[in-house]
A = this chain, B = another copy of it.
Amino acid sequence: MPGNTFGHLLRLTTFGESHGPALGGVLDGVPPGLELSEADLQRELDLRKPGQGPTSTSRVEADLVHIQSGIFQGKTTGTPIAFIIQNTNQHSSDYDELARIFRPGHADFTYWAKYHGYRDYRGGGRASGRETAARVAAGAIAAKLLAQIGVQILAGSVELGGIGCDELDLPGAIGRPYFAAQASVIELWDQAVQQARKQHDTLGGIVQIEVRNVPAGLGEPVFDKISALLGHGLLSVGAVKGIEFGDGFQAARSRGSANNDLLLAPEKQGALPGFASNHAGGMLGGITTGQDIVMRVAVKPIASVPRPQKTVDIDGKACEITIAGRHDLSAIPRIVPVLKAMTALVIADAWLMQQSLG
């Protein structure tokens, strides 16, 4: 309830500040017998690691994950899986100014207001994007669990700095710069990034996430529709300002006759019905249809703009701040594995819920 735990039957609790000793998490509810190693988590963490692309900070954290519990002889035991990532590459002195000055677009002011003035201001403390490393580690476990039943989660960047893709190849995204959903936009995005960097500015973008081969029947009426659970999970990622499912905001401009996905007779005896289209994004009444779940999330531009900005300090005095420290130019692409991780956690939890019905 105080907000650092997510999920019902598969339940992630995370902890850690950007410049504290470590961050990590505890994933409870993983069924026994799943083969799992630190390498499974590290692989996903490496995709989120800073310092490896055109939009990335020069802060290089190894982000090595260490599992503390819940695995025995290479398999899960059903007990909680705890993992730790030490914070090693910290320039805390970069952040001294932040003890007193609220950065625009950051959580400095709101944490100060919420927690009665007590906060770890170094690098954003708990509100830092580093917090998402724990999500990625846990999401890797959820994804491995889902892989056992054939469910696959794909994601890619479909827009950066206002430049969108016109064709999507999500399976190929992971191998491309920016985790771009289309190879041909990369050059345009490179130019946009260079220009923004030159102009001391930052960029936002849009990420598409899909869940393939998902069983029909996941999600709970009324309040825990699969869209509501996914919305909760993805909107909880910092920088996400919107989410849509299937045709999303375009569905609001469509007509019922065009927006309805007509059902088709099953391809073979005993199979579930198919659909002639997927405007709904894989769900009806909040329950999965068995079609692909399709979502897009809006990612705001990085708030740490490398130029002077007007703001106030903790005494309410107007002042100016020029943000030091090492920062990404866009949350794209590093946010992509985070969004995949949250999606995996939601779907795996919903699948365990559905299993409880027998």
Contacts and interface: CB of A to CB of B under 8 A. Distances in A.
B80 A15 contact: yes
Interface in A41-82: 66-70, 72, 75-82
A266 interface: yes
Nearest to A101: B263
A227 B69 CA distance: 25
Contact of A3 (B16, B222, B255): B222
A180 B192 CA distance: 39
Interface string A229-250: 1111111101011111111110
Contacts of A242: 242-245, 248-249, 251-252
A225 B231 CA distance: 12
B29 A1 contact: yes
Nearest to A119: B77
A206 interface: yes
A107 B216 CA distance: 12
A125 B72 contact: yes
Given A201-B257, A357-B116, A13 B5 contact: yes
A312 B126 contact: no
Interface in A247-294: 247-249, 251-257, 259-266, 269, 271-273, 276, 280-281, 283-290
B243 A231 contact: yes
B301 A255 contact: yes
B303 A22 contact: no
A352 interface: yes
Given A231-B231, A264-B312, A311-B262, A254 B300 contact: yes
Interface in A115-132: 115-120, 124-127, 131
B217 A114 contact: yes
A211 to B, nearest CB: 15
Nearest to A124: B285
- Top-10 shortest CB links A-B: A107-B285, A3-B220, A242-B244, A202-B256, A110-B287, A3-B224, A32-B118, A114-B217, A2-B29, A356-B356
A271 to B, nearest CB: 8
A151 to B, nearest CB: 15
A236 B253 contact: no
A70 B243 contact: no
Contacts of A204: 251-255, 259
A156 interface: no
Given A21-B67, A265-B317, 14 more contacts: A2-B220, A3-B222, A3-B225, A5-B11, A20-B72, A109-B273, A109-B284, A202-B256, A225-B235, A228-B232, A228-B233, A241-B247, A262-B311, A271-B316
